Amino acid sequence: MTGEDPFLWLEDVEGEAALGWVAERNAETAAALTSDPRFETLRGELREVLDDAERIPYTVRRGAYLYDYWRDADRPKGVWRRTTLEQYRKDEPAWDVLLDVDALAAADGEEWVWAGAAVRYPDYRRALVMLSRDGSDAVVVREFDLDDRAFVPGGFEVAEAKTRVAWIDEDTLFVGADLGPDSLTASGYPRTVRRWRRGTALEDAEVVYEAEHTDVSASGWYDATPGFERAFVSRATDFFHRELHLLADGDRLVRIDVPADAGAYAHRQWLVVTPKSPWLGHPAGSLLVFDFDAFLAGDRTAHALFTPDERTALSGHCWTRHHLILDTLADVATRLEVLTPGPDGWSRRPLADVPPLSSACITDTDPDTSDEYFLDVDGFLQPSTLTRGHIGGDTEVLKQAPARFDTAGLAVRQHFATSRDGTAVPYFVVGPADRDRPGPALLYGYGGFRDQQTPGYDAITGRAWLARGGTFVVANIRGGAEYGPAWHQAALGPHRVRAFEDFAAVAADLTARGITTPDRLGITGASNGGLLMGAMLVRHPELFGAVVAKVPLLDMLRYHRLLAGASWIAEYGDPDTEADRPHLEDMSPYHNLAAGRPYPPVLLMTSTRDDRVHPGHARKTAARLRELGHRVLFHENTGGGHGGASDNEQAAHNRALAYTFLWQHLGGGTGS
């Protein structure tokens, strides 16, 4: 596409003309999909899955209680609640409801969506509750009393913004908010950190730290661990680089001298660093710990708790009171170890065995007081099992999720495709174990921002796709972090094409293995994965039979001017520079659409309330495809934010639209 963008008017999120166009497209999509008898069946089944009363209520410990946020058919907006461990062990625990979001929404006349809560340590008496209007990233903040189960009259309250807030003590917060001109960065996040004292106006709170307008954000937090009380501030100069400072006496900044691309934080006496580039003789992707005070004094002696190799990467880690639990991936297979500091260094031993082609993660620990941990294990065909244990002690199975789709005759396999440059790209295939001919398949990918795609039980995919005869595929393409920082960095900026080539290689490999054929292979992705879908549409339309792109990023020449887009320049490049504009123009799906190309059918889905990826990306692309004479359906949910839906009814409706579309165009099995 050359010349001025003829569809800029569709970027007017709530403009009358734009919303009129959206209503017309939504009606067309409803006529094409909701009238299909498969739609209502799918919607009902998916709503049943989402409202499942027997699913595991995952909790976080705060003192004596386990906290949970829960939605179901009777409480579509959900409740924030808590219980004791003794109760949680029961099949039907007694829950203490702290906040009913449905009741609050009705009382306030607002479409509130729960966005989390920061509970004050160590007394856990008060919380800063965050509420989103219809699912947007921006939130309002209100102080809540957990004993009174009510908002605090005259308490801390912050108006709607992409606020950063943290407790210092019972009467003081660190806060970054929208306070008018110059208070936000170009990405729309807070630029200042203020110390706000109870009883004073937020706009009068003292500024203790300030980032640049071109930075992504600034934030501050307080570590209240007894004996290690410390305050920190940081500025994210871009999505992957930041400066970290200790806020010493008199608000003196003490720079924590680690590489800007490294993750770094303090835990008790330790400084923990995860460098993304080689540092101090250690490779990128290592996990290093230093004595915090010695580091500030200039000592760079590190304990290397993890060193990656060609096939193994750090996935995550978390602390208990006396140990560190290490989560690593070996060819995307989970391994868990316990590391323990001692006078002669750090010892290690396995924590738990993880079945092949499954995943395990620590959902919660209690690093302040005990060595308790909660371990969740699942797989593509294996519902979650939640285990509680104490390191060095006994374990108990607390919860077992029910099976929500028939897995008889299904199997999970891992294969490797060869990308254009010779790189081996792993992918998982879930489907019939003994299929003797190609069938319908759905390929998912993301490929960006260090995201990792590991095996997991998804009852939505199971009911809507696998149980109806489809095969589901997950591609571990570059841009993610399945093999550490290098796997991500290989697809940054001008090298983004490698992620596209990896995905295309997996698609071709599926056909070469006889698993599917191009006309029966659908693809789906969201957000950055929506960019991947757009790239596949314009680069390799011959490989696919249908494309579903959700909340997609598609205009790569204006993305940095829309909502949070400026924060992603480190991932993609800057369209305003001569160095980056050529590759961004080449990779921009919106600008590479053409008439006369044999594009497969496309479904574009977005949300009016998405304040992260602008709905204009999907709107303009749908308009351009229509103008060029191509088949495209478009659906925009009026609420839901970047997640696309703000309650289970919306989620079931949206997903039923997508699966109905896929079955219409890919056919086969009992889904046809």
- The residues assigned a catalytic role are 527, 642
Contact indicator for 325, 351 with CB cutoff of 8 Å: yes
Task: Give Dmax over CA atoms of the chain in angstroms.
Answer: 73
Q: Please tell me the number of Cα atoms within 13 Å of 33 on its side-chain side.
A: 27
**Alpha helix stretches (DSSP H) within 34-150:** 37-50, 85-88, 101-108
Tokens of 411: 């199997």
Measuring CA to CA, which residue among 503, 440, 505 is closest to residue 468? Answer: 440
| First-residue to last-residue Cα distance in the chain | 37
150-151 and 372-379 strand pairing: unpaired
- DSSP letter (8 states) at residue 552: -
Identity of the residue numbered 34: T
Dihedral (C-alpha) 509, 512, 516, 519: value to the nearest 10 degrees? 90
Locate the DSSP E strands across 21-78.
60-62, 65-70
What is the Cα gyration radius of the chain? 25
DSSP state of 535: H
Helix axes 37-50, 648-666, angle to 10 degrees: 140
Which tokens go with 639?
């609420």
Block residue for tokens 């302040």: 368
Separation between Cα atoms, residue 413 and residue 430, nearest integer Å: 7
Q: E-strand spans in 146-225?
A: 150-151, 157-161, 164-169, 172-176, 192-197, 206-210, 217-223
Query: CA angle, corner 607, sides to 604 and 613, nearest 5?
Result: 85
Residue carrying structure tokens 């939504």: 26
d(CA 564, CA 536): 24
Strands 521-526 and 441-444, how do they pair? parallel
